[in-house]
A and B are shown apart, each in its own frame.
Chain A
Amino acid sequence: MAKRKFGLALSVLLAAGTLLGACGSDNGEEAQNEGNNSGGGESASEFSVAMVTDVGGVDDKSFNQAAWKGIQEFGEDNGLEKGDGGFDYLQSAGEEDYIPNLNALARRDFNLVFGVGFMMQDALDEIASQQKDTQFAIIDAVVEQPNTVSLLFKEHEGSFLAGVAAALTTESKKVGFVGGMENEVIHRFESGFVQGVEAVDPSIEIDIQYTGAFDKAELGKTTANRMYSSGVDVIFHAAGGTGNGVFSEAKERKSNDPDANVWVIGVDSDQYDEGAVGDTNVTLTSMLKRVDVAVKDISEKAKNGEFPGGEVITYGIADEGVALADSRGNIPEDVVAQIEEYQEKIASGEIEVKEYPEGKEPK
């Protein structure tokens, strides 16, 4: 008897699910149509673009945020609005969310969908093979699908300049590197930074530490604390949210002692605002990874029907894909001139920056 009642309850629930589900989807479509109508201009339905963040979230002050900035700029330039038929983003709380999120955007008929971060490689590969009518782009990884373009950056070139800046700034002849998780991308940062420092002065000590996470500011703080205490005066971080801890440690030291010689080199976005302490600032400069430039560039191309599907595009110094941010006076003029020299040499190919640190080449 009890079983029968349970079965009945179950079937009622399922039936309700189907009915409610059906009316819900009608509402959804109506809302969508209204949205398109109220969107007005023909531009709204012309070309739409969206992105899925990795676990860092859209406000990670790093490359997710940079990608979103690029999409917003593209949207403004083309008179698009946030939402269906315009531009939008979805955040992933965990790795299991990548596929549903990518799929959701493809189903909402966005023309171009970006997957931000190498962690999305497998997920994007799978979705791109299923949703053949949508164009995809992945940042920091390669996905071999005819409807996908892979965007890579020469982080080692930009980090080389960061290394030069650090080497010319340090007084203690000790500099530090704080990485997030160890992977190919972060190894490129490390490699470039080390080569840049050594190009200026091979006798400078470089303390290289990996925290194993991109979202643990407290780890970044303790690592920075250890480094500064051991005499390091410039730290370059390539650790996303973990790097925010490096900034807070440097700022604490600066506010306790305004004469303290502590510097942080930011990463991905211009992190000048992160380093503000009263009237001073601990951000020496930032190694810009212009994800926003790349995102805008690909969106424009796709909009004009020139989507480079199946290609791998690499942005380096020569393409303005990586660069150092304006130091706002924290780096003296003569040093800036030296950095620019190196920059030109790299752009012209006179200096070739090795992609990976020795012994850490990918197999």
Chain B
Amino acid sequence: MSNRMINLLVPAIAVILGLLVGAIVMLVSGYDPVAGYIALWQGIFGDSYAIGETIRQITPYILAGLAVAFAFRTGLFNIGVEGQLIVGWFAAVYVGAAFDLPKVIHLPLSILAGAAAGALWAFLPGLLKAKMKIHEVIVTIMMNYIALHVVNALIKTWSGGGDKTDRILESASLRSEFLSSLTDYSRLHYGILVALLMVVVMWFILEKTTTGFELKAVGFNEHASEYAGMKIGKNIILSMVISGAFAGLAGAMEGLGTFGNMYTRGGFTGIGFDGIAVALLGANTPLGVIFGAVLFGSLKYGALNMPNAAQIPEEVVQIVIALVIFFVACGYAIRLFLTKISKKKEAK
């Protein structure tokens, strides 16, 4: 079996295994797995509305995945994507609602505000890591809570004691008549283009620039890089800032596209944490992140249709979805298994 075959087979087998075990879970709990999977399929690709909503769901996952992946490539664990996303969301909505500008300026400005807020939120952990060797995992986790509650307080102050912000002006919205009419009133917005553009940006920075080379070098071996004359501290901060900017953009997509405002939250969105899985599934490469985000986003949105169309309780659905992702993450084991088989065959 050629290497290429194995590369193609691994994800396919992983998904099929996940679906099989999921089917067993559904059977054991007394539900019809065939109906369940038809509902899942329908929920993802069933009609133009579902496709539009699925793409909408994928958008922030791509950006959150990029954020984690970018930091990871430079040897940093950015667990703070969640918090950076929340401040990015708020900043984008604030600029989108508080200023009255022509669309060509307003929309990019709002998006940039989200990116800047996320970058700023990641700058601090980067600085602490670079200057004082404080581990970024602890700092970013704590920054998540700070972000959540600071933003809640800001929303309350801004709205005068209410629990949601004003709606953004039309000139800052990523939504479009064209896209929603195309997809039967779904909330599909132009954010997907932003996300895909960022995939290219990440690839370009990492593969085509000196800065990217330095960042990766620091990720591979800090000491060797230092010996080669690279500034470790500067690279750590830069990496966190870029990672935070991606995360902030994910928040901006939610604020300017999906919701159009922001509510006070009792807990996290979960997108930032899922972003870790998205990045790892995609082996921390830009293209891989797209794959991971498509898997996560489709399953998450499609799963909504399983209680709806097949009467399977949400809890069972979540187990099934988790199983699929679990098996995809176990790709390495499947790869090992396949190589063993092919080696045996060769030996014969």
Q: Which residues of A contact B (CB under 8 A)?
A: 17-18, 20-21, 24-25, 27-28, 31, 55, 57, 83, 90-91, 93-97, 99-101, 103-105, 108, 118-119, 122, 130, 180-184, 212-216, 360-363
Q: How far is the CA of A362 from the CA of B152 in the complex (A)?
A: 17
> Across the interface, which residues of A come within 8 angstroms of B301, CB to CB?
100
What's the nearest-Cβ distance from chain B to residue A224, in Å? 18
What's the nearest-Cβ distance from chain A to residue B250, in Å? 13
Asked if A20 and B269 make an inter-chain contact with CB atoms under 8 angstroms apart, the answer reads: no
Tell me, yes or no, whether B185 is within 8 Å of chain A by CB: yes
Asked if B46 and A360 make an inter-chain contact with CB atoms under 8 angstroms apart, the answer reads: no
Asked if B264 and A100 make an inter-chain contact with CB atoms under 8 angstroms apart, the answer reads: no
Asked if A21 and B162 make an inter-chain contact with CB atoms under 8 angstroms apart, the answer reads: no
Asked if B38 and A27 make an inter-chain contact with CB atoms under 8 angstroms apart, the answer reads: yes
> Across the interface, which residues of B come within 8 angstroms of A90, CB to CB?
304, 307-308
Asked if A17 and B45 make an inter-chain contact with CB atoms under 8 angstroms apart, the answer reads: yes
Asked if B304 and A101 make an inter-chain contact with CB atoms under 8 angstroms apart, the answer reads: yes
> Across the interface, which residues of A come within 8 angstroms of B304, CB to CB?
90, 97, 100-101, 104
What's the nearest-Cβ distance from chain A to residue B144, in Å? 15
Given contacts A100-B301, A104-B308, A183-B163, contact A94 B46 (CB under 8 A): no
Segment at the A interface, from B71-79, B80-88, B100-108, B255-263: B255-263
> Across the interface, which residues of A come within 8 angstroms of B41, CB to CB?
20-21, 24
A97: nearest chain-B partner, CB-CB = B304
Asked if B185 and A130 make an inter-chain contact with CB atoms under 8 angstroms apart, the answer reads: yes
What's the nearest-Cβ distance from chain A to residue B333, in Å? 24
What's the nearest-Cβ distance from chain B to residue A282, in Å? 26
Q: How far is the CA of A93 from the CA of B270 in the complex (A)?
A: 11
B164: nearest chain-A partner, CB-CB = A122
> Across the interface, which residues of A come within 8 angstroms of B53, CB to CB?
100
> Across the interface, which residues of B come within 8 angstroms of A104, CB to CB?
304-305, 308
Q: How far is the CA of A100 from the CA of B108 in the complex (A)?
A: 28
Asked if A363 and B263 make an inter-chain contact with CB atoms under 8 angstroms apart, the answer reads: no
> Across the interface, which residues of A come within 8 angstroms of B261, CB to CB?
122
Asked if A360 and B161 make an inter-chain contact with CB atoms under 8 angstroms apart, the answer reads: yes
Given contacts A21-B46, A100-B301, A103-B49, contact A362 B266 (CB under 8 A): no
Tell me, yes or no, whether B30 is within 8 Å of chain A by CB: no
Given contacts A215-B266, A215-B267, contact A28 B314 (CB under 8 A): no
Partner of A96, one of B161, B164, B258: B258
B56: nearest chain-A partner, CB-CB = A96
B312-329 Cβ-contact flags toward A at 8 Å (1 or 0):
001000000000000000
7 smallest A-B Cβ distances: which pairs?
A213-B266, A363-B160, A17-B45, A183-B163, A21-B45, A104-B308, A24-B38
Asked if B161 and A28 make an inter-chain contact with CB atoms under 8 angstroms apart, the answer reads: no
What's the nearest-Cβ distance from chain B to residue A118, in Å? 8
> Across the interface, which residues of B come within 8 angstroms of A57, CB to CB?
314
Given contacts A83-B311, A122-B261, A363-B162, contact A181 B266 (CB under 8 A): yes
Report B261-279 residues with CB < 8 Å from chain A CB: 261, 263-264, 266-267, 269-270
What's the nearest-Cβ distance from chain B to residue A339, in Å? 31
Tell me, yes or no, whether B171 is within 8 Å of chain A by CB: no
Question: In the complex, given contacts A24-B42, A99-B187, what are 11 additional A-B residue pairs having Cβ atoms less than 8 angstroms apart?
Answer: A21-B42, A31-B35, A108-B308, A118-B163, A122-B261, A182-B161, A182-B163, A183-B264, A213-B266, A215-B267, A363-B160
What's the nearest-Cβ distance from chain B to residue A235, in Å? 20
Given contacts A25-B46, A95-B259, contact A182 B266 (CB under 8 A): no
Tell me, yes or no, whether B156 is within 8 Å of chain A by CB: yes
> Across the interface, which residues of A come within 8 angstroms of B152, CB to CB?
212
Partner of A119, one of B47, B49, B185, B263: B263
> Across the interface, which residues of A come within 8 angstroms of B42, CB to CB?
21, 24-25, 28
> Across the interface, which residues of B come within 8 angstroms of A362, CB to CB?
160-162
Q: List 13 A-B contacts (CB under 8 A).
A: A21-B42, A21-B46, A25-B42, A55-B266, A83-B311, A90-B307, A93-B314, A96-B259, A100-B53, A103-B185, A119-B263, A182-B161, A362-B161
Asked if A212 and B266 make an inter-chain contact with CB atoms under 8 angstroms apart, the answer reads: yes
Given contacts A28-B38, A90-B308, A101-B304, contact A182 B46 (CB under 8 A): no
Q: How far is the CA of A212 from the CA of B150 in the complex (A)?
A: 13
What's the nearest-Cβ distance from chain A to residue B132, in Å? 31
Partner of B267, one of A28, A96, A100, A213: A213
Asked if A28 and B163 make an inter-chain contact with CB atoms under 8 angstroms apart, the answer reads: no
Tell me, yes or no, whether B140 is within 8 Å of chain A by CB: no
Q: How far is the CA of A45 from the CA of B203 in the complex (A)?
A: 56
